């Protein structure tokens, strides 16, 4: 984003209030902003934030338009189709959910497996095909007490030490 665009946003007291709200994690409702300007506002708000900024659109058509305009201002934008948001009567696809999790910054394949195991084993989420995605080995998603955590971490350290010894 060019310096002049950032300066233009900084000049508006309303835009500064929205940015302050976004930094606090509070909703920043942009109802008074013309629809064509809203993707720019979202990109401007996201600039410099150390958290994910989520935008909710009133319908699928506006969501797709917003996403394509936002990609012009912020190439890191992700579109989450409404069927993935657990709409009433819809069954989320666990493979797609795992792929979306893996696309988030700092979430690698092992964390995806842990999160999916946590959802299934501790929260009772049951989806067609979810069992096939779950790791056979014990993960952090299976830990429910401090004693289990200590046991899990000790086992993980022992396994790493064994792999290092085998590699030498």
Average pLDDT over residues 66-93: 70
- Answer yes or no: do 125 and 66 share one domain: no
Average pLDDT over residues 131-159: 88
Question: How many Å apart are CA 31 and CA 124, to the nearest integer?
Answer: 38
Structurally, the chain folds into a number of domains equal to 2
- Answer yes or no: do 10 and 72 share one domain: yes
Question: How many Å apart are CA 19 and CA 156, to the nearest integer?
Answer: 42
Q: Answer whether residue 55 is part of any domain.
A: yes
pLDDT at 150: 92
Question: How many Å apart are CA 162 and CA 167, to the nearest integer?
Answer: 9
pLDDT at 165: 94
Which range (26-35, 39-48, 79-88, 135-144) has the least confidence? 79-88
- Answer yes or no: do 73 and 1 share one domain: yes
- Answer yes or no: do 34 and 57 share one domain: yes
- In a 13 Å sphere around the CA of 94, the CA atoms on its Cβ side amount to 17
Q: Answer whether residue 88 is part of any domain.
A: no
Q: What are phi and psi of 122, to 5 degrees?
A: -105, -30
| Domain span at 19 | 1-79
Locate 98 and state its tokens: 């795992």
Q: Answer whether residue 110 is part of any domain.
A: yes
- Answer yes or no: do 7 and 55 share one domain: yes
- Answer yes or no: do 56 and 109 share one domain: no
Average pLDDT over residues 106-125: 84
CA 41 to chain centre: 20
pLDDT at residue 2 above 50? no
> Which H or E run contains 113?
helix 109-117
Q: Answer whether residue 85 is part of any domain.
A: no
Q: What is the CA radius of gyration of the chain?
A: 21
């Amino acid at each position: 984003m060019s310096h002049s665009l950032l300066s233009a946003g900084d000049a508006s007291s309303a835009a500064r209030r929205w940015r302050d709200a976004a930094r606090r994690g509070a909703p920043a409702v942009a109802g008074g902003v013309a629809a064509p300007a809203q993707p720019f506002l979202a990109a401007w708000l996201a600039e410099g934030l150390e958290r994910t900024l989520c935008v909710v659109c009133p319908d699928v058509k506006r969501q797709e338009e917003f996403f394509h305009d936002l990609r012009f201002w912020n190439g890191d934008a992700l579109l989450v189709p409404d069927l993935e948001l657990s709409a009433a009567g819809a069954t989320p696809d666990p493979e797609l959910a795992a792929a979306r999790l893996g696309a988030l910054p700092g979430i690698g394949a092992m964390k995806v497996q842990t999160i999916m195991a946590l959802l299934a084993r501790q929260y009772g989420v049951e989806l067609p095909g979810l069992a096939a995605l779950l790791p056979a080995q014990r993960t952090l998603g299976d830990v429910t007490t401090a004693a289990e955590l200590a046991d899990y971490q000790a086992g993980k350290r022992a396994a790493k030490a064994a792999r290092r010894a085998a590699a030498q």
